[in-house]
Amino acid sequence: MGAPFLEDMRALGGQDVAIVGVPLDCGTTYRSGTRWGPRAIRQISLLGTGYNPSLGVDLVEALTMVDVGDVSVIPANIEKSFDQIAKAVSYLHERAVFPVVLGGDHSIGYPDIRGLAPHVTGNIGIIHFDRHADISEYNRDERMHGTPWFHATNIPSAPPTNLVQIGIGGWTQPHDWYSTSRERRTTIMTMEDVDRYGIDRVAEYALDIAWKGAKCVFLSFDIDCLDPAFAPGTGTPEPGGFLPREVLRLLHLVAREGFAGMEVVEVSPPYDVAEVTALLASRVIMDVLGTLVLNGKLGHLPIRQESTPAQAGMDQQHTDE
């Protein structure tokens, strides 16, 4: 999107959106490469004007956006990296700027919630799109990309009953994810549930669960919730996921009530083809921001007098006469 780079973080404040990269992939358990995700998403996001006629929103006009660069992570020390990420995200919330976090692997979900929690006077709901529930306590004795929601929901203001996970399924699931989810009373909606109940009803369920007694909701979007036919560039692909059109529509529905921040994770450029995965990640961000603007949750919608296509045709007819 070409958001200007803000070099001096002391100047942060008053903007609507801050884009921050987290080039971390030491939390992966299969294929690394997500450290290059932030760069790839930024690069392909330049393929676009910021205007979507279907939404009637121009993000360049509606939002003041800055890119604050990447968090300084330590590849050999995931716990120290979590501290760095949490501090960076906390600073964005302290300055009352909406964070768009570009991952990185999904282990960053935990520090993203850690960074948000001190700035919320109440509970936090989480809407999580993924093919994997990511709720183990540990992967290989570490808090890695299969563990963020176990630890995030240990934070007192992020109760597991406000965690809703959409698109889960396939053959890369350990047994303990489901026993842990039952014990903690989280909500899992599989792709079979999406097929059975439909996009509108799933969105309604997700909003009811995430917002119940919550002050705000955070969006976590793992790109592997999309079928790998459309998003091959990811570390743990799982066939049977969403079509892009389905997931964008579902995002429009759940974003209408507003978010306190968002992350897009698990884009792994070494496995991408023609940048299509990074492109989808950028469009997820744009569609969410556009929906937030359209519903008065972020920025402002400029007032302008525009003709519909039918009106434009009538005006042309009068001119010809």
Predicted confidence at residue 258, as pLDDT, reads: 98
H or E stretch at 287: helix 276-294
Residue 309 included in any domain: no
What pLDDT, on the 0 to 100 scale, is given for residue 313? Answer: 52
Any domain includes 111: yes
Which residue type sits at 16?
Answer: D
pLDDT for 65-86, tens place per residue?
Answer: 999 999 999 988 999 999 999 9
Q: Tell me, yes or no, whether 24 lies in a domain.
A: yes
Give the model's pLDDT for residue 316: 53
Tell me whether residue 47 is in a domain: yes
> Does residue 3 lie in a domain region?
no
Determine the length of the chain: 321
Torsion of CA 247, 253, 257, 263, to 10 degrees: 10
Q: What is the CA radius of gyration of the chain?
A: 19
pLDDT 10s digits, 3-14: 999 999 999 999
Token reading at 255: 């974003």
pLDDT confidence of residue 320? 52
Q: What is the mean pLDDT of residues 96-104?
A: 97
Amino acid letter, 197: Y
Average pLDDT over residues 43-64: 94
Cβ atoms of 136 and 179 within 8 Å: the answer is no
Number of domains in the chain: 1
Is 315 contained in some domain? Answer: no
CA 113 – CA 115 distance, rounded (Å): 5
Residue 138 sits in a domain of what CATH number? 3.40.800.10
Nearest to 95 by CA among 11, 213, 179: 11
What is the pLDDT, as a whole number, of residue 314? 45
Residue position matching structure tokens 């083809």: 273
In this structure, is residue 157 part of a structural domain? yes
Whole-angstrom distance, CA of residue 39 vs CA of residue 106: 16
Residue 236's domain spans which residues? Answer: 9-302
Beta bridge partners of 126: 163, 218
pLDDT in tens, 106-118: 999 999 999 999 9
The pLDDT of residue 310 is: 44
Split at pLDDT 50, 70, 90, the class of 128 is very high
Residue 319: inside a domain, yes or no?
no
Give the model confidence (pLDDT) of 205-228 as tens digits: 999 999 999 999 999 999 999 999
Q: Report the pLDDT value the prediction gives residue 311, as an integer from 0 to 100.
A: 41
